[in-house]
Amino acid sequence: MRAKSLVILCFLLVNTLHAQSPSDTINYRQFFLDVDQLIGQGNLDSALALTQRALQQYEAKPTGEQDIYAGLFQAAGVIYHYYGMYPEAKEKYDQALQIRKNYLGLYHVDMITSYLNLGGLASEFSKFEAALDLLDTAQLIIDRQTEPIPSLQANIFNNQGNTYAGMGQFRLAEDYYSRSLVIKDTLPGLLPNTRANAYVNLGTIFEEYGDFGKARDYYLIAKDILEKAYGTHIDLIQVHQNLGNVWFFQEQYHLAMTEFRKAEKIIRENFPEHPFMGQIYSNIANVQAERTELDTALYYDLQALDIWQRTFGDQPTIYSIITRIGLGNHLRLKKDWEASLRVYGEALHALQTMEGASIYTLANCYNHMGRVYSEQGDLPAALAHFTQAANTLSYDTLDLTLPIPWQASQDLEDALVNLGIAYNQRYRLTKDSNDLKKSGEFLTDAMIVKNGLRVNFADLTSKINLVQRNDLWSEWAVDTYQKLYLLTNDRHYLEAAFQFAEVGKSTLLFEAVRHKKEIQFEGVPDSLLQSEYDLKARLNYFYEKLIYSGSDESLSEDRARWNQEIFNLKRSYEELKADFANFHPGYFDLMYNLETVSLKQLQQSLPRDQAMIEYQVGDSTIFVFLVTTDEVRLIPIKYDFPLESWIEQVRKHITGTMPYNMDNFREPAHLLYQKLIRPLADELPERLVIVPDKKLGYIPFEALLTAMPKDNYVERWPFLINDHEISYNYSLTLLDAMKTIVHQDPSRQILAMAPFSGKDTVYLQLPNQSADTGQVIHKFLPLLYSKEEIDMFESEPQNQTVYGKAATKKKFMQEAPKCRILHLATHAEANSVQGENSFLVFAYTDQPDEQMLLHVRDLYGLQLNADLVVLSACETGIGELRQGEGIISLARAFSYAGAKSLITSLWKIDDQHTQQLMAGFYAYLNAGVSKDSSLRRAKLDYLKTHSGREAFPANWSGFVAIGDTSSIK
């Protein structure tokens, strides 16, 4: 559970004068225009100096125009407010308000600006109820005016949105922000910073919803507006800060820190005493904690708290509370549990005494406190706090199958997961099966909540963040249900264990493949999609009302009305879903059918000579699901051995220096077999589909040794490939989906490309893949055997072979969607730090260097029609290991683009050996043999014709088959 980051909201501070009489002596009208312009430009020093001079002149020679006098105090208050000098700002606002009350009347138009700015200031102090009262008064006054005042109305809506956002009522906030932006878009001469702030505020709402892609888009629009208009501006502090938050939640910590440092630089150079620095320090602390720099994190936490104390005194604010929760998290990570609980307790007390406190922040605090107690081994206290977190969010009254506010969903999921884990831990002490059942119930409800979130996200990066959270606890769910299965022999529990193992694997890739199948959903009428959006928004709105009402007896009648609204909306929502199911089944399946494939379905689809093996690697247990036509077994393997070390040794020595690597490869290759395959060996048929988990995806199982070799005759070593034909997939649900993809008839059979078939060496200067900064020179040598490799395709007129300089990225992007088979014989490079930056290399052109590279991220938007993609290049099957999704590789990206099956590589392979393997593979494939069998036979043929070092697995086992491996028809 990551610390919450502080998101900055933009309050619109108003300095508009609506007096009717002209000034005869001093041109105060021009003064107000000049001050507004200076504030808009962020030139606060000049604005303050000009305002102080105007006040001195007025007091030296009063004109009797009290509206002018009040306006001067109002201007000073706005400037102090921007400076973060809140006591001085309030003093000036109060002076302006008092003059207006005494001389202009309670309903004078200028009173609106006083209440607007005092409302904004109250929200800064987290006095949300007082802020709403002040803004309601402003609305009352504007309603009594004879003519509409659009600019002030827009500002009222904006500040109401800010207040509700501070209270955590984000649907209401979004509604007010949207109303404000609609009005602003019609106003002539709107200052650029005012327009930019509207986009910032909408961005904060989407950030709170977890839709980081949309949030980033709004922030970038605001950034572009401000930089084009002003260069440097005070409001860029907010933009950089919020962009940093987006990158933080997407685990791009270097990018987050870059944005936070930009904000810090603007403050240091222009407003060194501004309270915004507290927000920046708090967020920098969170980044440092993620980098495990805990002492540095604690330093910034304390710096932030010092700023809040100097700014707000002992007044509890949402800023100081969130900083304290972050401090508590960082103390917990240092295992200073006593100090952590003390700090959490201070945050909890502040939340309980602060008016309009966010229910979500309160639940978040209970969750964190529960985790401390859990880590201390105090399960009763942990369960009490996790239960309090769930109850705070009205868990007992929510219908989890309906759309729930995003922030509520996130914190409720955390509470339910924590409860599920805690009851599992209690079972280990009590051996009471009821504790296991409670664990399963809570974890299942957590998955229902998560599935509801998945339905609402369209942005890929937001979904990535979502599924990564799931990977942290799916092991506990599998453990819970496998224990229940062993206790009861109830297949329902076995099925549940399998479902949780599946949802932790390649969820986003499965959705993408299903999208390729159901692309016809684009025909859904816009009116239905709008109805769907509106119903979800309305359900969120009333759920938020219910959650915030708690058990307040004075709201019992309101709760009854809200429940009736939810009941009516639920009926409409179910009717709409039924319409989707009946008339737009593709869209319904894509958006609402989130179930994984069942064990029974898998058994029915299996041939008798094939078994499926799925691994789930946890902290203490490796769970293995073995599926055959006759039975399903769940085999727990005690994780008491150095799995990752053995994997690293196999990879290191399989490609190391001869003969040293031959000697050091044997032992880990045999030990991995003993632990991962031997417990199942007696029940395995010849053909296997393996779903690896985590780092298991970096090794070829066919190269494991069933016994320790006694000599160096490598061709006679007992490799697993001698006994079994092996293919792979990212999940069994995904395999089932890939098998059922039906592609259109292609215009070409094969597109084969060999960009480096000539004799030229290409040098490129590219970003350093293993560091945050810097450039490195990449040297791409000729692949002379790649020409011979694709020559075999030339004889068929339906095929297209492209060599050397003609094999460009542009050519590939144009031709690839038209072909049944894609064969790329080229260079590639995996990126183990950021998987989306792994790339294939095409021919050099006169375009910028990056035009040669096809990155993983480039493939996500491609629509392929390929039954088979052969990536005859280095490292196309490896990359960044990402929680919840597996290895982010080029091969995976081609699956995302619609490929039914792939042949891909796990390391750098000599192009001569590659050419020999590929010739054998296609010979069998063209004879009607299945893809996995064709690859196995080509490898066995290679072993028969090579000996000694040439037969070592480095030369033949690096290529693996993924996906639907049936023969090409």
Per-residue pLDDT at 702 exceeds 90: yes
Report yes or no: 284 and 260 within 8 Å, Cβ to Cβ: yes
Hey, how many other C-beta atoms are within 10 angstroms of the C-beta on 203? 30
Model confidence pLDDT, tens digit, residues 261-275: 999 998 888 877 778
Nearest to 938, CA basis, from 954, 964, 959, 969: 959
Pair type for strands 621-627 and 886-888: unpaired
Least confident window among 8-17, 202-211, 725-734: 8-17
Q: Which amino acid type is present at position 726?
A: I
Structural tokens at position 914: 């590659």
Least confident window among 174-178, 812-816, 885-889: 885-889
What pLDDT score does 721 carry?
96
Per-residue pLDDT at 538 exceeds 80: no
What pLDDT score does 764 carry?
55
Which of 386-405 are b and which e, b meaning 16 or more Cβ less than 10 Å from the residue's Cβ? bbbbbbbbbbeebebebbbb
DSSP string for 836-877: GG-EEE----SS-GGGGEEEHHHHTT-----SEEEEESTTTT
Q: Identify the top-confidence range among 22-31, 322-331, 516-525, 536-545.
A: 322-331
The share of the chain scoring above pLDDT 70, in percent, equals: 83
Separation between Cα atoms, residue 907 and residue 879, nearest integer Å: 10
What pLDDT score does 297 carry?
96
Q: Which is higher by pLDDT, 100 or 171?
A: 100
Nearest to 355, CA basis, from 170, 118, 171, 167: 167
Pair type for strands 828-829 and 880-882: unpaired
Model confidence pLDDT, tens digit, residues 77-93: 988 887 778 888 899 99
Hey, how many other C-beta atoms are within 10 angstroms of the C-beta on 53? 11
Question: Given pLDDT bands bounded at 50, 70 and 90, which one contains residue 888?
Answer: low
Cα distances from 191 to residues 33, 187, 224, in angstroms, run 12, 10, 14
Separation between Cα atoms, residue 811 and residue 849, nearest integer Å: 16
Per-residue pLDDT at 515 exceeds 60: no
Separation between Cα atoms, residue 345 and residue 374, nearest integer Å: 16
Per-residue pLDDT at 761 exceeds 60: no
Model confidence pLDDT, tens digit, residues 281-312: 999 999 999 999 999 999 999 999 999 898 88
Question: Given pLDDT bands bounded at 50, 70 and 90, which one contains residue 174?
Answer: confident
What phi and psi values does residue 550 have, to the nearest 5 degrees?
A: 55, -130
- Segment 671-688 mean pLDDT: 94
The share of the chain scoring above pLDDT 90, in percent, equals: 30
Per-residue pLDDT at 116 exceeds 70: yes
